Structure 1
């Protein structure tokens, strides 16, 4: 195969255009090309009048060495094919099958890799299956009661199921785990384009079907998935896990316990602290969500209010504030919704969500500021959780149990809002006008205002007075890290902290990659499980 990098084409190009450009670059006729495979596609919108796609493609043809020599182009190289390799099974016998706690990306991908290697894992999920969970969430958004174990945070698929479904990550990937994650997503129902687009996303409507397909495959391979199964105790003897207690009733033995519990499993963190599992508080970020008309973002990024080929535009913005803190946008949802993402009674948190088509009227993003253990108060490893809860309790009170919202101009002037301007809300859940300054500390408010004013220089209209703010965005990542060694094992032996909740990931893809990484650690040590 020959790899061509930096292949530029108009956004409305055809497959024939791609073939012709590849052939011209290689100085061969189109008929000499046997196949072209897109490896990477990105959008270059730096010049609005000349927006184009930039590709890396692999071309199959004869006489590759001769063509490479003839092309004399630094962007034409010999393609080196890399594939992910799961390790050979270890030698330590397993008496009991591995137990995975949580069915978010970390738990599911750990489970699928172990199941395909003969380990027949048991997956335990405190929430409901994805279909029942979706019904519970929709009912809550429509004014029904909050189910504290089946909501936007808890249930099959994890918190990422109700999100934009972004699959890009900054994690370095020399072992091709990232590629394996994307390939598995495609295998279980995602569009194949996620294998090459620069900013892949799935959308919550598609992601829900994918996680169901993964669960069914785990079961087909001899694994087991149980819902409504909350781990209420970890059973430790001589600094080693020997089992767990579920729902305060059933005891289940485990030779290997994988904790893929997610960043909102606060009660489980309390159990772990009580049992002496080593943990530490870690930095995370908090703030508010902001909504703008999607057409406005499109005009800023593409020069058009509606781009039929490129779809809804996104953005990623950062600013270093005068107070020494950084403010940045996070989990930007083109054509998306701000959703009530609460999981505890009398506490309220928000998140962003998009469907696959990203065809909602608004763009939304979190505007967040990093907070550190020095901000939390106290020395407990769970001090960050207490910090989150304080903000969420304030949000619940300010919003009278609904999503508290405010126009940016009123937030800047420190006065409550009473009505919308030209920007209409795109929300999942009821809302209440208020003053969000009463929810977050001044250093957060001041940083957000300074950031929004600075972002105006990058996206025109970002600081418009009627942009809609909502709070509080407090679940950006885990406030806790469950420490582990180079073998991915806790100081409590046979305990494997995993994924975002354990403090080792920051999104769907990185969590899934960490799930695969932990599966590798289990497989490298233990023989395949057999009944």
Structure 2
């Protein structure tokens, strides 16, 4: 088996992809066509640096016929070696109770799945509802109904990522990623997530994937209690002893804490109990929408409608005049902006796409970095900062869950938008024109203006032909729940902070990897525990 990298096809040749790849391989390897028994795409990406000449780049797994030998070592060709997986260790220390997992987003889900498959019979506590009931609540809210503070875009089975673009892109290099993607495919995600350079699932498919993964966890011996929030913790002599849920105290052997980045009441409870937390930097800003066809034309030129090319994406980053980072975040091609609030009287937004990414407009967060210098050194100060912005956004939306919006050109000029042309706000349950240039602190507003002007030089019309919606305040966890070398919280042995809400991941895959990592660390120390009765 050969690992063949950097195989390049001009875009026009990809309509007969398999034949074109065969020809390219024969040329690279200097073998006849019959010498190639099979080929498999391991990675595929688009090289659109030159708009008049776009290429598709491939990494291929190639099987040659028996007896075929290569002449020399062709460039980019090596023997295929699967990435080694970490050894699975099972400890012998007895647990003094069941393993409990608080939160069923990507981190909690994959921690539970890993533990269940190894006989630890975990019990999952999820404050929100199952994905089916949760979807009904969210759609009712977007249709103008009441917000359920326990079952919404932020809380419920699958976590906040369930209502997103479903991106599976990650910058981490960890051998656990491959196993996670395999679980996604077994649960119904498309096979292409194995090889696409920027894989995504989409909200529509992700709901079914989450449900299937939950069923796999239960079949392996795990349990889950929906509409059940972790209420309190009790430790003695530096070790976690009990946890409270359903209004009652329960003995626990270990607790994997996967709260999600919006579980503010959980953060407050941890702070009150003395669990060590620290403030961290994150980012806030606005959502920006543009016509998808305009983004495609900028990224792909004359090839914008080629069948091999999907709705295009962008990643933009720069520095403001005040030397802060300003960047795009969670870009959703062919998607929509959604009201992602989880607290009454406060409003925040996010982006979402279906798998087809075929809606008229693209959207992305446009955010500026903030840190303790903006909100104070105490860990909970960042939550106060977020809430103040969300309360102001809610008030700008006329106090009825309508998102405040403004054209990018009006935001730059500091004027109220009177009418929309070309790009129209797409956010449910509604929107109202508002002075978003007055929403954020001046240094952040100026940072966004700097970013719009900078990115307008990279993508035509980015600064003049877009619509902004506010406020984007939940880009990542506003604090970190500290953990030591054994992955448990100092002074709370047996409490394992995990995932994005604990401050150790960013996105679906990295959170899932952290869930597996914490589960394996727990397993390496403890013997499987009896199930909770």
Give, in whole Å, the separation in 2 of the partners of 1:126 and 1:303.
Answer: 47
Distance 1:416-1:397 versus aligned 2 partners, 3 A rule: same
* Alignment-derived partner of residue 53 in structure 1: 56
Tell me, in whole angstroms, the C-alpha distance in 2 between the residues paired with 1:413 and 1:181: 47
Structure 1: distance between partners of 2:415 and 2:251: 56
1:149 equivalent in structure 2: 150
Equivalence for 2:141 = 140
Aligned-residue offset at 1:529: 2.3
1:92–1:525 CA contact under 8 A, matched in 2: yes
The Cα of 1:288 is off from its aligned counterpart by 0.4
Structure 2 unmatched ranges of 5 or more: none
Q: Which residue of 1 aligns with 2:101?
A: 100
1:130: which partner in 2?
Answer: 131
Which residue of structure 1 aligns with residue 184 of structure 2?
Answer: 185
User: Which consecutive residues of structure 1, in runs of 5 or more, have no partner in the other structure?
Assistant: none
Separation (CA, whole Å) in 2 of partners of 1:71 and 1:322: 54
Partner of 2:234: 235
The separation in 2 between residues aligned to 1:39 and 1:97, in whole angstroms, is 40
Q: CA contact under 8 A between 1:166 and 1:508: conserved in structure 2?
A: yes
**TM-score (structure 2 length as normaliser):** 0.96
Q: Are residue 170 (structure 1) and residue 171 (structure 2) matched?
A: yes
What is the correspondence of 1:171-250 to structure 2 with a 5 Å cutoff?
Answer: 171-173=172-174, 176-247=175-246, 249-250=247-248
3-state SS in 1 of match to 2:148: coil
Q: 2:402·2:428 contact (CA, 8 Å) conserved in 1? A: no
* In 1: Cα distance, 2:525 partner to 2:227 partner: 30
How many residue pairs match? The answer is 524
Question: Which residue pairs with 1:160 in the alignment?
Answer: 161
TM norm structure 1: 0.96
Q: Which moved more, 1:290-299 or 1:429-438?
A: 429-438
Instruction: Give 1:171 shift.
Output: 1.5
State the 1:428 CA deviation: 3.0
Would the aligned equivalents of 1:361 and 1:426 in 2 still touch at CA under 8 Å? no
In 2 relative to 1, CA 132–24 (structure 1 residues): closer, same or farther, beyond 3 Å? same
Rounded Cα–Cα distance in structure 2 between residues aligned with 1:47 and 1:297: 15
Residue 297 (structure 1) aligns with: 295
Structure 1 residue aligned with 2:36:
33
Return the offset for 1:122: 0.6
Q: Deviations over 1:221-279 (max 9, x none)?
A: 111011000111112222211121113x1222211100000000000000000000000
- Counterparts of 2:226 and 2:45, CA distance in 1: 40
Matches within 5 A, 1:36-435: 36-62=39-65, 66-67=69-70, 70-85=71-86, 87-173=88-174, 176-247=175-246, 249-304=247-302, 305-377=304-376, 379-400=377-398, 401-435=401-435
Assess if the C-alpha contact under 8 Å between 2:425 and 2:431 holds in 1: no
1:43-86 C-alpha deviation (Å, 9 max, x unpaired):
0011112212101111111468931xx15322111111224345
CA distance in 1, matches of 2:67, 2:508: 38
Mapped to 1, the partners of 2:111 and 2:120 lie a distance apart of 11
The Cα of 1:88 is off from its aligned counterpart by: 2.1
User: Cα RMSD (Å) of the superposition?
Assistant: 1.4
After superposition, give the CA deviation of every residue in 1:267-302 in whole Å (9 maximum; x if it has no partner). Answer: 000000000000011100000010000000000001
